[in-house]
C-alpha cells in the first residue's frame, strides 16, 4: 500500500483485508466495482463500527511504521532491532604485544620451552541500554469514517491523508532525535580537541588554522566565502576530507576516545563511513572547485548526506551546547559535562565523519491501541507509542571539521 497515493487496487486490497478481519468471509478481489464496494462497506459498518475502525487504523499505522516512504535527514542513523535491539553488550579486543620467537633465541640444551604460557589478551566490555518513550494520538470522527467508506476514491483519500499525517510527524521526531545526537557528538568531540593537544587534531580539524599553517597564509572566514582565496581553500578542504576518509580505513588509535588500560585498535572501511557535511558549504566547494572531480571521489562509497542546518535554521552552521554526554577516558564511564566550564559554541561547523557504529537510533516496541467510539462525541482515538533507543560509542572513529 502506498502512503502518498492510493490506487483502486490498493483500496480494494485494503477493503478486502478489513472485510476478512471483521467477517472472516475472505478477501475482496481487486476487480471490485463501485457498486460492490459500497455494498460491502455498508455491510461492514452495520456489523461493527469499532471493529472496522480498529482494522483500518492498524493497517494504516503499521504501513507507516514498516515502509517509511518519506525521506528524513540523518536516515542512515536509524537501525533495526536485529542490529541494536534490547540491551546491547559490546565486546572489543585490544592488540597485545608480539612475543619473542623462542625457537631462535632461547633454546638451551637440557631445558624445555614452556608452550603453556597464558596470554589472556585485552578485552573491553561496554553496555548500552535505555530508551526514550514518546506518543502520538489521532482522532477520527464517525462521520469521517462513514464518508470514507462511501466509495473507493473517498477511502483512498482518507487513508492517504491519515497515513501522511502520522508519517510526517513520526519521521520529524526521529530526525530530531538524530539531530540531538549529532549536536551532542560534535560538542563532545570539540571538547576532547580543546582539552587535549591542539596540534594532533585527532578529534577535530580546524581547517582555516590548518590551511594557514600549511601554506603560510593568513586567511579568515570571510575570505573563504568569496574572493581569491576561496578556490584554493576549498580545494584544500576537499583534499583533507579525502585524507581523513583514507585514514579511517587504516588500523590505528586515531580519531576516537581510547579507554585507559585498553589498546583497542580501530579501522572503518569506506562502506561503513557516514559523512554528514553542511550543504551550504558543500555548495561553495562545488562552485569553487571542479564539481565533477568532487563527486567522483571516495564520498560515493560512504553514506554521504548534505545537512540543511545543524541546530537552528536561522544560524545554519552554529553549534551551541551547554551540556552534553561524553566518555571519560580515565574511568571508561559516560558522564555529563560541567556546564560552567565546558560550554561549546562553534560558529562554523562544516561537518563530521564517523563510523556507522559510533551512533545510531533504534525505534522499537511500537504499540498501536485504538479506543472504542466515544458515545457522546462520536469519535475514535488511536494512540501510538514508541521507544527510541539511542547509542553513542565514543570508542568508535569520529572526527569533526570546523572552519576556524
- The string over 353-380, giving b where at least 16 C-beta atoms fall within 10 Å of a residue's C-beta and e elsewhere, is bbbbbbbbbbbeeeebebeebeeeeebb
Q: How many distinct structural domains can be found in the chain?
A: 1
pLDDT in tens, the chain (404 residues): 445 566 666 777 777 777 777 776 655 555 566 777 777 777 778 767 888 888 888 777 766 655 444 455 777 777 665 555 544 555 555 445 555 555 556 666 666 666 555 555 554 555 554 556 767 788 888 888 888 888 888 888 888 888 887 777 777 777 888 888 899 999 999 988 888 755 567 899 999 999 999 999 999 999 998 778 888 999 999 999 999 999 999 988 888 888 776 677 888 999 899 999 999 999 888 877 765 555 556 577 788 889 999 999 999 999 999 888 888 878 878 788 876 667 899 999 999 999 988 888 877 767 778 888 898 898 989 887 777 777 788 888 999 999 99
Find cell 588500560 and name the residue. Answer: 261
Q: 115 in helix, strand or coil?
A: coil
Residue 143 lies in a domain: yes
Residue 324 lies in a domain: yes
Name the grid cell of 390: 539511542
Residue 402 lies in a domain: yes
CA atoms within 13 A on the CB side of 91: 3
Q: 26 in helix, strand or coil?
A: coil
Task: Say how far apart CA 392 and CA 325 lie, in whole Å.
Answer: 9
Q: Angle CA(223)–CA(348)–CA(185) in degrees, nearest 5? A: 155
Which residues lie closer than 8 Å to 323 by C-beta, 6 or more apart? Answer: 336, 337, 339
Task: Say how far apart CA 350 and CA 403 lie, in whole Å.
Answer: 6
Which residues lie closer than 8 Å to 57 by C-beta, 6 or more apart? Answer: 138, 140, 162, 368, 370, 380, 382
Find cell 501510538 and name the residue. Answer: 384
Task: Say how far apart CA 3 and CA 14 lie, in whole Å.
Answer: 12
Determine how β-strand 379-392 pairs with β-strand 359-370.
Answer: antiparallel
Please state the pTM of the whole predicted model. Answer: 0.74
Sign of CA dihedral 291, 292, 298, 301: positive
Residue 14 lies in a domain: no
Residue 243 lies in a domain: yes
Q: Identify the domain containing residue 388 by its residue range.
A: 71-148+177-404
- The string over 280-301, giving b where at least 16 C-beta atoms fall within 10 Å of a residue's C-beta and e elsewhere, is ebbebbbebbeeeebeeebbee
- Cβ 135 vs Cβ 385: under 8 Å: yes
Residue 58 lies in a domain: no
Alpha helices, DSSP H, located in 196-229: 207-215, 221-225
Distance of CA 173 to the CA centre of its chain: 12
Amino acid at each position: 500500500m502506498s502512503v502518498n497515493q492510493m490506487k483502486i487496487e490498493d483500496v480494494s486490497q485494503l477493503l478486502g483485508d478489513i472485510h476478512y478481519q471483521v467477517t472472516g468471509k475472505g478477501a475482496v478481489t481487486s476487480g471490485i466495482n463501485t457498486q460492490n464496494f459500497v455494498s460491502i462497506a455498508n455491510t461492514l459498518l452495520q456489523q461493527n463500527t469499532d471493529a472496522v475502525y480498529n482494522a483500518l487504523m492498524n493497517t494504516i499505522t503499521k504501513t507507516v511504521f514498516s515502509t517509511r516512504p518519506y525521506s528524513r535527514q540523518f536516515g542512515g542513523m536509524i537501525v533495526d532491532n536485529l542490529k541494536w535491539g534490547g540491551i546491547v553488550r559490546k565486546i572489543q579486543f585490544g592488540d597485545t604485544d608480539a612475543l619473542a620467537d623462542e625457537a631462535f633465541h632461547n633454546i638451551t640444551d637440557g631445558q624445555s620451552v614452556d608452550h603453556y604460557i597464558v596470554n589472556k589478551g585485552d578485552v573491553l566490555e561496554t553496555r548500552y541500554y535505555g530508551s526514550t518513550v514518546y506518543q502520538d494520538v489521532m482522532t477520527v470522527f464517525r462521520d469521517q469514517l462513514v464518508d470514507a467508506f462511501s466509495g473507493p476514491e473517498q477511502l483512498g483519500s482518507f487513508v492517504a491523508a491519515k497515513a501522511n499525517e502520522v508519517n510526517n510527524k513520526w519521521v520529524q521526531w526521529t530526525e530530531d532525535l538524530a539531530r540531538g545526537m549529532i549536536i551532542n557528538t560534535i560538542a563532545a568531540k570539540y571538547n576532547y580537541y580543546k582539552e587535549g593537544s591542539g596540534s594532533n587534531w585527532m578529534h577535530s580539524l580546524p581547517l582555516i588554522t590548518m590551511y594557514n599553517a600549511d601554506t603560510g597564509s593568513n586567511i579568515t572566514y570571510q575570505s573563504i566565502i568569496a574572493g581569491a582565496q576561496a578556490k584554493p581553500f576549498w580545494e584544500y578542504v576537499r583534499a583533507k576530507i579525502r585524507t581523513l576518509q583514507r585514514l579511517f580505513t587504516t588500523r590505528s588509535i586515531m580519531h576516537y576516545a581510547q579507554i585507559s588500560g585498553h589498546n583497542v585498535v580501530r579501522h572503518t572501511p569506506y562502506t561503513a563511513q557516514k559523512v554528514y557535511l553542511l550543504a551550504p558549504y558543500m555548495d561553495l566547494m562545488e562552485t569553487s572547485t571542479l564539481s565533477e572531480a568532487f563527486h567522483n571521489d571516495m564520498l560515493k562509497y560512504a553514506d554521504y548526506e548534505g545537512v540543511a542546518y545543524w541546530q537552528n535554521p536561522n544560524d545554519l552552521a552554529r553549534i551551541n551546547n551547554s551540556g552534553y554526554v561524553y566518555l571519560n577516558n580515565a574511568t571508561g564511564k559516560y558522564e555529563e559535562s560541567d556546564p560552567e566550564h565546558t560550554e561549546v559554541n562553534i560558529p562554523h561547523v562544516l561537518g563530521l565523519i564517523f563510523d556507522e557504529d559510533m551512533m545510531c537510533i533504534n525505534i522499537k516496541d511500537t504499540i498501536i491501541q485504538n479506543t472504542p467510539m466515544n458515545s457522546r462525541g462520536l469519535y475514535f482515538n488511536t494512540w501510538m507509542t514508541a521507544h527510541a533507543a539511542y547509542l553513542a560509542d565514543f570508542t568508535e572513529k569520529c572526527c569533526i571539521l570546523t572552519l576556524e
